[in-house]
Amino acid sequence: MTSTSTSEPMESKGLMKVITASSVGTLIEWYDFYIYGAMSVIIAKQFFPQDNPTAAFLAALATFAAGFVVRPFGALVFGRIGDIIGRKYTFLLTLLLMGGSTFAIGLIPGYASIGIWAPVLILLLRFVQGLALGGEYGGAATYVAEHSPVGRRGYFTAYIQTTATLGFFLSLGVILTTRKSVGVEAFNDWGWRIPFIVSIFLIAVSVYIRLKMAESPLFAKIKKEGKVSSNPLKESFANKRNLKMVLLALFAAVMGQGVVWYTGQFYAQTFIERTMSVEFEQVRYLLCFSILAATPFFLVFGAWSDKIGRKTIMLAGMLLAILTYRPIYKMMYTYSDAKAKTEITESGSKGVAVAVAANGDSTITTTTVAVYTDGSTLKTVKKEVKLADASRPAVKPETTKTLWLSSGGFWMIAFLVFIQIIYVTMVYGPIAAFLVELFPTRIRYTSMSLPYHIGNGIFGGLTPFIATRLFDASKTTENPGGDPYVGLWYPILIAGVCFIIGLLYLPNKNDEDVSD
């Protein structure tokens, strides 16, 4: 065992430069990836016009899922390149692909202008984004880990782990600022394009920073010695000794980590916005506060994993999530459950407006505002269309609910989301170091990227999609509201299986030397 993971110990100043350069690029890639998800409802209206809003939302989520599902393929393509030509040029390429496709999404005309080409182009660009992201993370994590000193790898790679959450935070910030600046109506019409277009400037800065970086010292060393793998895919997945570890990484760690991450950070948002009907800006503000408060814990748990082992912390995070998700979501839901609240009848209002179209159809819009003793306000808008020609098929009434939380409710939900993000920091903080230590340098990029992106892209990325689907399926004629917590069974089950496998098969010892 050598005393450092690199052939030459790196000064702390130099290491921080490496971390900054890697992290800024990864952060921007995450930003690019998330703005799409954060605006899926608006994009659904612009590019996937359907009469049923749930169907439109699912269509957008499917595209969101498409971005996730192709990530493992990106891991294979770029992992291979990274193990053959090097880490530096590979993650420069992924950055350019991601930035270019994000910028292009902001320029595509809507369905109303170019018809079916609009959703087709969106889908294609989303695929490119997914591929690029699949190649980015493994490169950045490997690059930082291969520069890190022994005994601090968990801490230093945790900086890379913060980028996913900070990228999400940045995307929320840019969206909120743009929405405030241009107004809600203009934002829904064309303003949503601005966060996509802004990406090109962020990418330019990041490419400039990364161009100045040197190749990873461990990769440079094996390249000099002629030990670079000629076929990393074959070595990674056709060699039983290595394939065994790929499977172990996926089923004993990353699968559970993925669902805990996407439940805390994304399904929580979907639940608060769609199931609880909390107002758009309130949801984003409370997420911003929760994320900001929890982010330093990535570093805390990353550093702690250097001392007590990666397994202990990751499995503890999974167990806490399994045990507390249902109570947490039940507590959150009480703030939107009208049955659990007392209405102040004299403060409420009801208004009816009738608009008659040229063809004689009349639209009756009933707006009801209910004020509750806990300080929250619920606005319900019901639109009914009365057709002039009764022989035409009836139009289904449309009801939209918007809940404004009281200050107490806002902070309580922010706290409950914060707890979920703490679980995210426990499972996600040490994962880069864990994966890097599992595989040898010559095939590290390929071997660690695939389980990471199956666990996060597929098991994790599909969490909001599957959970929303379960919720919609629970709506019956007897219970039209459905079971709001049924979607949680998916992450609980996956994390539960992963916890048991991890407990049985994973050792808790960190591999100090990754220079092999």
Partner 1 sequence: MNSLKRLSGFIWIALGVAAVYMMASQAGKEISAAAAANKAVLDTKMFWYIIIPIFAPIMAGLCLFGWYAWKGEYDVVARDSEHLG
Residues at the interface with partner 1 (CB under 8 A): 52, 55, 58-59, 62, 65, 69, 235-236, 239-242, 244-245, 247-248, 250-251, 437-440, 442-444, 454, 458, 462, 466, 469, 473, 497, 500-501, 504-507, 509-511, 513-514, 516
Toward partner 1, which CB reaches closer, 197 or 248? 248
Measured between alpha carbons, how far is 102 from 453 in angstroms, rounded to an integer? 20
Minimum distance, C-beta of residue 242 to partner 1, in the bound complex (Å): 5
> What 3-state class would DSSP assign to 351?
strand
Residue 198 burial (CB count, 10 A): 18
**Least CB distance to partner 1 at residue 423 (A):** 23
Q: To the nearest whole angstrom, how small is the minimum distance from the Cβ of residue 436 to partner 1? A: 8
Give the integer Cα–Cα distance in Å for 32 and 29.
5
* Cβ pair 462, 487 in contact under 8 A: no
Nearest-approach distance from CB 188 to partner 1, in angstroms = 24
How deeply is 289 buried, as exposed, middle or buried, from its count of CB atoms within 10 A (0-12, 13-18, 19+)?
Answer: middle
* DSSP state string for 250-300: IIIIIHHHHHHHHIIIIIHHHIIIIIS-B-HHHHHHHHHHHHHHHTHHHHH
| DSSP character at residue 383 | E
> Cβ of residue 24: shortest distance to partner 1, in angstroms?
28
Residue 379 or 475 having the CB closest to partner 1: 475
Burial of 123 (0-12, 13-18, 19+ CB in 10 A): middle
256 token code pair? 């559970």
**DSSP conformational letter for 473:** H
Rounded CA gap, 292 and 168, in Å? 10
Q: Are strands 377-386 and 362-371 parallel, antiparallel or unpaired?
A: antiparallel
Which CB, 480 or 507, lies closer to partner 1? 507
Q: How far apart are CA 364 and CA 196, in angstroms?
A: 37
**Nearest to partner 1 of 100, 440 (CB atom):** 440
Nearer to partner 1, 47 or 372 (CB): 47
State the minimum distance, in angstroms, from the CB of residue 78 to partner 1.
Answer: 19
Q: How far is the CB of 465 from partner 1 (least distance, A)?
A: 8
Contact 33, 129 (CB under 8 A): yes
Tell me which H or E stretch contains 432: helix 431-438
CB of 463 to partner 1, least distance (A): 13
Residue showing tokens 């939209």: 400
Shortest distance in whole angstroms from residue 504 CB to partner 1: 6
Instruction: Report the distance separating Cα 145 and Cα 153, nearest Å.
Output: 6
Q: Name the minimum Å distance from CB 102 to partner 1.
A: 23
By C-beta, is 58 or 315 nearer to partner 1?
58
Sequential DSSP letters for 191-257: ITHHHHHHHHHHHHHHHHHHHTPPPPHHHHHHHHTT---S-HHHHHHSSHHHHHHHHHHIIIIIHHH
